[in-house]
Chains A and B, each alone.
Chain A
């Protein structure tokens, strides 16, 4: 009887010991901290649009304005091929996952340093911080997605059954963001160069992804395979395919997914290894 009561109280025991080696991610612990992740995400969104007159409307304007500029330069002036689709729509289907990725990347890379006051004072799984920035980017994405549906309706393009695959590609975008975000945020704790490098990285990465041009521009075969080492190639290709059709994802998709997995798993381990030192060096 007494025993049962004691068990009910469930006093957890925490062990303190020097950290050694490479640890896997503790999913159970992450789940216990889900409310913290929720509130950090909520804070990110709230704060981002707090003193902006247009508020969340920026999530609508950003892809629309970028689409307009791309259309003018690449569509009208340079006459870039666009799989026989209206160029604005062609660009927008790629811009959506791209902006999700770019926003997540930019914000997550500085997230740990930006939350240094939390990290040096309170214990929680550190991964909650970059994770929250990525979830916050997902909210922007959802708003932008409605814009995309509007543009599709405007051009009278309707997605086929392929759209059922879309959630998978959104997930892939998130995993790609997380993979890169884990590496960059952990590295940025020690080397602040990362935060200066990220804007360039994003710019170069954008042109290295089939956003303003179709993937067919890259010669099939070896070059295409090398090109697909960029995980965003697979993501964008899959997005376009599931929404507006075109070439079915092929081997390039597999290569991209493979790269994402390698980046993600190594990123998780690297992050876990470095997180014990965050409080000391941030």
Chain B
């Protein structure tokens, strides 16, 4: 018997781009498509050459081994292939090429609450969800009380979960999943849910699992969780493993990966090519007060951030915005170009064209250090057109920031200049002493 829990060799997975969406979902769509095709026969005879379907390799020649009892982290940007890797390992989808072997039962926490039914009570959902995750009925019976206790939904256990608050729902869902006992556990982003208190509890549980000597593959955007729970981490980029090493090194590599040092991020057309997406990002830039693109800005001067983009078609209630994050992935703020009610009214519909959305980050806001900027373009609750959580990083220099007379590192990502007053309210009263 070997000590290897997971071994994969040259695993590759290919998807057809847009397959899901180009397929007509309804009869109406099918008829429209057919009508379109028939019309196509009569005109535009020239453009009848065969367009090969475009493919994307979500995973390409991924090879690695995981030892029994090891907790391995997996990091990578959105679309780097992390989720696909977990799907292949959990057999949800087959690899297109390659070979792998897994020694032991696999439990996956690909998303908590999978298979929960809103009409069923908490109790019923525990059994249903447990069965879906691969637990035997007597195993669920045995752990039932423990699960309920962990979830803290105690007295609501016989209420349909549709009446649960989202927090209760997630706690219950995680509680079931956390009591799985497979030899190999695949975890994807479960810690992104719930309030801070519950997240701590989840992390604690994950820690326990790791201590018990089970093999865990842990995928997360939460760098502090990765750092805390894993010793070794794989960095995925564009479907390939670009690095495997001790977690601190891997996290460092990931955070600095593909990032330009020039304070600008340009998107090549093929990077964001999607015929159906009307929003095409062009560039994200950090500008100093003189309007120059810079990698380092001065905390005391403030700076501007601008997003340049093309709109192929008019988009209604579009908002283009920024995420400011620490290099550990903690959010500092989120801001959108139509936050202002007046601009929101003006741009209820944004006509096609080339745009720049620029915002001014005020002086004396950021602390010194390296920060990550992300971009998001969406219509609230309708559609997300584009998102890049870490489009670029830049440095803030502390020169002129409040408190620089003390050469110490200030804690916290921001360093506002606050209006302090010192007032003497009385003279020192010696008479009180006696």
Contact = CB atoms under 8 A, between A and B. Distances in A.
Given A18-B97, A122-B90, A123-B90, A193 B127 contact: no
B164 to A, nearest CB: 16
B19 A118 contact: no
Interface string B373-417: 000000000000000000000000000000000000000000000
A119 B100 CA distance: 21
Contacts of A279: 87, 92-93
Nearest to B96: A18
Contacts of A38: 131
A17 B120 contact: no
Interface in B112-153: 114-115, 117, 119-120, 124, 127-128, 131-134, 136-137
Interface string A183-208: 00000001111001100000000000
B15 interface: yes
A17 B1 contact: no
B108 A11 contact: no
Nearest to A282: B20
Interface stretch (B25-33, B43-51, B238-246): B25-33
Contact of B110 (A16, A42, A121): A121
A125 B19 CA distance: 24
A193 B120 contact: no
Contact of A16 (B24, B25, B95): B95
Contact of B105 (A12, A17, A50): A12
B162 to A, nearest CB: 10
Given A35-B137, A122-B108, A276-B94, A16 B102 contact: yes
Contact of A192 (B11, B26, B134): B26
A193 B30 contact: yes
A1 interface: no
Contact of A15 (B19, B26, B88, B100): B100
B248 interface: no
A17 B99 contact: yes
B55 interface: no
Interface string A19-34: 1000000000000000
Contacts of B106: 14, 123
Interface in A1-18: 6, 11-18
Nearest to B100: A16
Contact of A121 (B23, B114, B131, B134): B114
Contacts of B100: 15-17
Contacts of B119: 46-47, 50-51
Contacts of A196: 26-27
Contacts of B213: none
B225 interface: no
A124 interface: yes
A13 B127 CA distance: 27
A18 B102 contact: no
B136 A121 contact: no
A228 to B, nearest CB: 31
A13 B101 CA distance: 7
B96 A281 contact: no
Given A279-B87, A279-B93, A17 B98 contact: yes
A13 B106 CA distance: 10
Interface in B1-37: 1, 8, 11, 15, 19-20, 23-27, 30
A250 interface: no
B115 A118 contact: yes
A165 interface: no
Interface string B60-89: 000000000000000000000000000111
A18 B59 CA distance: 13
Given A39-B128, A123-B91, A124-B132, A117 B115 contact: yes
Contacts of A16: 8, 11, 88-89, 91, 94-95, 98-102
Contacts of A42: 128
Nearest to A17: B99
Nearest to A47: B119
A266 interface: no
A14 B115 contact: no
B228 interface: no
A192 B25 contact: yes
A26 B95 CA distance: 20
Contacts of B92: 119-123, 279
B104 interface: yes
Nearest to A275: B94
Interface string B199-237: 000000000000000000000000000000000000000
B117 A43 contact: yes
A39 B131 contact: yes
Point out which of A40, A123, A276 has the most chain B C-beta atoms below 10 A from its C-beta. Answer: A123
A218 B51 CA distance: 52
B20 A281 contact: yes
Interface of B: 1, 8, 11, 15, 19-20, 23-27, 30, 87-106, 108, 110-111, 114-115, 117, 119-120, 124, 127-128, 131-134, 136-137, 160, 183
23 contacts: A11-B104, A16-B8, A16-B98, A16-B100, A17-B95, A17-B100, A18-B97, A35-B131, A35-B137, A39-B127, A40-B131, A43-B128, A47-B120, A50-B120, A50-B160, A121-B111, A122-B110, A123-B92, A123-B106, A193-B26, A196-B26, A276-B94, A279-B93
Give 9 closest A-B pairs by Cβ, nearest first: A16-B100, A123-B91, A39-B131, A14-B102, A121-B110, A19-B94, A279-B93, A192-B25, A50-B119
Given A16-B102, A39-B128, A46-B119, 6 more contacts: A14-B102, A16-B88, A16-B98, A17-B95, A39-B131, A280-B19
